[in-house]
């Protein structure tokens, strides 16, 4: 599991460690890791033209000391000072190593820009001088390596400032080198998209439990409900699926494909006879009609055939429920829904919270947590980085999705898969986390040859799952 901590947690851990070390040791550790990462990124050091954007904080000091180490290895290093109060010792070390102070115009001829403008204590957005430098790097297509975070993003939320004159007011990095632990902005869009790949340098911090996590393959292996020798179709999990309608029969077929690609023993389809026939034609393994189940997946493609009373009865029952698409209309903020997982996109979550879609997209983590608290559910907010958050605030993200997932029916596959994971015994947070990871992995696999459909994602799920498990 990759873990991301808040600014407050990182500051406390840094203070605790610095109290036990000689002054400046922590900055030297960070600067050494940064210099090595820059050398690896460029592929060489000697003769490389590096421009440091240096602000007033410790990130500016990290950049200066990293510049000193690069200069000693033959790089041509220029520091552009964006504050009157830069790290004096770091600047002196750079000069002694052969670096110099220069002008922002030198970015045009650089091979690399190092973003040491602001650190984790900075506010979102950039001041004019920094913004000019960042836009010069964009204009001349000079890659930027961000120190700890891309300057201008909100560290604890993943939010970014609204565009000014149609352009971003923050750094878009080709690489981010972070220290000690990941920060929330590394995992949560829109800021995560500005980070590029994130390289973590261990500087010895001792940290508390993290509020945001990102699943890795080993975590999926540990959680996935693999059948044992004594398993049967009932003990593996029986899912009830209420999806599709005469208007959208395909939604039921696709959701069934997603469910059957999970760890299920049996799927019971509940819906119109005509839709049941379509599902049976595509998936003869299913059982049509009601019966005992361990979980429900409800909502994909129900349209006007949504039975509000019936679904609300399910929400009040003991079996866990995945609510997707039209099923979200049945949700209210009364009662205990801690066994419910909802899978909205930004527009659907906006309707639940009575806000604009653009507001949700700009503040994804905030609104996923608001909905989880207000409705007492686990929220899986779909998007380029999927956010999964429980009512108690525990949060995981999946930043591995491919843009090819933006295709009709892919959400139906995900809902079916999450339902299968619930039926097999995972709780809503684990089911959503594992489901989002495997859904993205299947899409990556299916899209190796180009564009994909929801059906292709479902077909790729068993192979992607097997690659992760075995």
Domain-wise residue ranges, the chain: 2-214, 217-469
Confirm whether residue 116 is marked as ligand binding: no
Q: Which tokens hold the place of 459?
A: 């077909």
Q: What share of the chain is helix, strand, coil (3-state, %, to 5)?
A: 45, 15, 40
What is the DSSP-derived secondary structure letter of residue 167? B
* pLDDT band of 164, cuts 50, 70, 90: low
Neighbours of 288 (CB within 10 A): 15
Mean model confidence pLDDT for the chain: 95
Instruction: Please check the confidence at residue 166 and state whether its pLDDT lies above 70.
Output: no
Find, among 44, 156, 132, the residue nearest to 80 by Cα: 132
What is the DSSP-derived secondary structure letter of residue 369? H
Tens-digit pLDDT profile for residues 210-263? 999 999 999 999 999 999 888 889 899 999 999 999 999 999 999 999 999 999
Assess if CATH 3.40.1190.20 describes domain 217-469: yes
- Highest mean pLDDT, choosing among 84-88, 112-116, 383-387: 112-116
Tens-digit pLDDT profile for residues 266-317? 999 999 999 999 999 999 999 999 999 999 999 999 999 999 999 999 999 9
Cβ contacts of residue 51 below 8 Å, gap of 6+?
Answer: 77, 78, 79, 80, 102, 106, 107, 110, 112, 113, 114, 142
Q: Which tokens hold the place of 334?
A: 């009364």
Q: What angle do CA 173, 174, 176 make, to 5 degrees?
A: 65
Phi, psi values for residue 183, rounded to 5°: -105, 160
Confirm whether residue 345 is marked as ligand binding: yes
Confirm whether residue 148 is marked as ligand binding: yes
Confirm whether residue 343 is marked as ligand binding: no
Instruction: Please check the confidence at residue 165 and state whether its pLDDT lies above 80.
Output: no
Among 14-18, 124-128, 193-197, 347-351, the least confident range: 124-128
Helix, strand or coil, per DSSP, at residue 190: coil
Confirm whether residue 59 is marked as ligand binding: yes
Confirm whether residue 425 is marked as ligand binding: no
Q: What angle do CA 353, 359, 363 make, to 5 degrees?
A: 95
Q: How many CA atoms lie within 13 A of 381 on its CB side?
A: 31
Q: Are 253 and 277 in contact (CB under 8 A)?
A: no
* pLDDT band of 169, cuts 50, 70, 90: confident
Instruction: Please check the confidence at residue 400 and state whether its pLDDT lies above 90.
Output: no
Instruction: Please check the confidence at residue 2 and state whether its pLDDT lies above 80.
Output: yes
DSSP 215-253: --HHHHHHHS----TT--TTTT-EEEEE---SS-HHHHH
Among 93-97, 198-202, 402-406, the least confident range: 402-406
Q: Distances in Å between the alpha carbon of 386 and those of 361, 364, 436, 453?
A: 11, 9, 7, 19
Please tell me which residue, 384 or 183, carries the higher pLDDT value.
Answer: 183
Confirm whether residue 250 is marked as ligand binding: no
Q: Are 400 and 440 in contact (CB under 8 A)?
A: yes
Q: Say how far apart CA 297 and CA 351 lie, in whole Å.
A: 21
Confirm whether residue 125 is marked as ligand binding: yes
Confirm whether residue 383 is marked as ligand binding: yes
Q: Say how far apart CA 427 and CA 339 lie, in whole Å.
A: 7
Confirm whether residue 60 is marked as ligand binding: yes
Confirm whether residue 111 is marked as ligand binding: no
Q: Are strands 198-201 and 266-269 parallel, antiparallel or unpaired?
A: unpaired
Confirm whether residue 143 is marked as ligand binding: no
Please tell me which residue, 228 or 67, carries the higher pLDDT value.
Answer: 67
Q: Are 81 and 107 in contact (CB under 8 A)?
A: no
Q: Say how far apart CA 96 and CA 29 lie, in whole Å.
A: 19
Confirm whether residue 386 is marked as ligand binding: yes
* pLDDT band of 191, cuts 50, 70, 90: very high
* pLDDT band of 194, cuts 50, 70, 90: very high
Q: Are 418 and 380 in contact (CB under 8 A)?
A: yes
Instruction: Please check the confidence at residue 163 and state whether its pLDDT lies above 90.
Output: no
Confirm whether residue 62 is marked as ligand binding: yes
pTM greater than 0.85 (yes/no): yes
Q: Which CATH superfamily is domain 2-214 in?
A: YjeF N-terminal domain (3.40.50.10260)
Confirm whether residue 161 is marked as ligand binding: no
pLDDT, mean of residues 323-331: 95
Tens-digit pLDDT profile for residues 430-454? 999 999 999 999 999 999 989 999 9
Confirm whether residue 58 is marked as ligand binding: yes
Residue-level length of the chain: 470
* pLDDT band of 384, cuts 50, 70, 90: confident
Largest Cα separation within the chain, whole Å, is 81
pLDDT, mean of residues 55-82: 96
Confirm whether residue 324 is marked as ligand binding: no
Tens-digit pLDDT profile for residues 337-382? 999 999 999 999 999 999 999 999 999 999 999 999 999 999 999 9
pLDDT, mean of residues 31-52: 97
Provide, rounded to the nearest whole percent, the portion of the chain with pLDDT above 70. Answer: 99
Helix, strand or coil, per DSSP, at residue 152: coil
What is the DSSP-derived secondary structure letter of residue 166? T
Confirm whether residue 301 is marked as ligand binding: yes
Confirm whether residue 119 is marked as ligand binding: yes
Confirm whether residue 5 is marked as ligand binding: no
Calculate the CA dihedral of residues 204, 13, 385, 357 and round it to 10 degrees.
-160
pLDDT, mean of residues 404-414: 94
Confirm whether residue 122 is marked as ligand binding: yes
């Amino acid at each position: 599991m990759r873990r991301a901590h808040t600014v407050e947690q990182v500051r406390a851990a840094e203070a605790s460690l610095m109290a036990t070390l000689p002054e400046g040791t922590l900055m030297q550790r960070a600067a050494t890791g940064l210099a090595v990462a820059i050398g690896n990124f460029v592929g060489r050091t000697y003769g490389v033209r590096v421009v440091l954007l240096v602000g007033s904080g410790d990130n500016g000091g990290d950049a200066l000391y990293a510049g000193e180490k690069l200069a000693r290895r033959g790089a041509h290093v220029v520091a552009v000072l964006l504050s009157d109060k830069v790290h004096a010792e770091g600047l002196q070390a750079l000069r002694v190593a052969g670096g110099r102070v220069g002008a922002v115009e030198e970015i045009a001829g650089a091979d690399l820009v190092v973003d040491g403008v602001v650190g984790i204590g900075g506010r979102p957005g950039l001041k004019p001088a920094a913004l000019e430098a960042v836009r010069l790097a964009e204009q001349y297509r000079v890659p930027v390596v961000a120190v700890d975070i891309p300057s201008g993003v909100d560290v604890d939320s993943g939010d970014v400032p609204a565009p000014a004159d149609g352009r971003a007011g923050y750094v878009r990095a080709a690489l981010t080198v972070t220290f000690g632990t990941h920060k929330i902005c590394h995992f949560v869009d829109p800021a995560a998209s500005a980070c590029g790949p994130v390289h973590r340098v261990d500087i010895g911090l001792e940290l508390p439990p993290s509020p945001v996590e990102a699943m890795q393959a080993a975590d999926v292996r540990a959680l996935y409900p693999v059948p044992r020798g004594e398993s049967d179709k009932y003990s593996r999990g029986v899912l009830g699926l209420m999806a599709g309608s005469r208007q959208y029969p395909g939604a039921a077929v696709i959701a069934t494909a997603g469910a059957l690609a999970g760890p299920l023993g049996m799927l019971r389809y509940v819906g119109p006879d005509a839709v049941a026939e379509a599902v049976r034609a595509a998936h003869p393994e299913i059982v049509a009609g009601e019966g005992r189940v361990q979980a429900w997946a409800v909502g994909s493609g129900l349209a006007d055939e949504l039975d509000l009373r019936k679904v609300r009865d399910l929400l009040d029952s003991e079996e866990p429920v995945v609510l997707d698409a039209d099923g979200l209309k049945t949700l209210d903020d009364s009662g205990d829904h801690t066994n419910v997982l909802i899978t909205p996109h930004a527009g659907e979550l906006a309707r639940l919270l009575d806000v604009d879609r653009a507001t949700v997209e700009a503040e994804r983590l905030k609104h996923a947590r608001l909905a989880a608290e207000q409705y007492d559910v686990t929220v899986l907010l779909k998007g380029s980085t999927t956010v999964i958050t429980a009512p108690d605030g525990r949060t995981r993200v999946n930043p591995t999705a491919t843009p090819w997932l933006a295709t009709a029916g892919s959400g139906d596959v995900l809902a079916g898969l999450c339902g299968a994971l619930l039926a097999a015994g995972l709780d809503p947070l684990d089911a959503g986390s594992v489901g989002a990871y495997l859904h993205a992995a299947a899409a990556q696999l299916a899209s190796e040859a180009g564009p994909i459909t929801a059906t292709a994602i479902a077909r790729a799920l068993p192979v992607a799952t097997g690659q992760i498990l075995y």
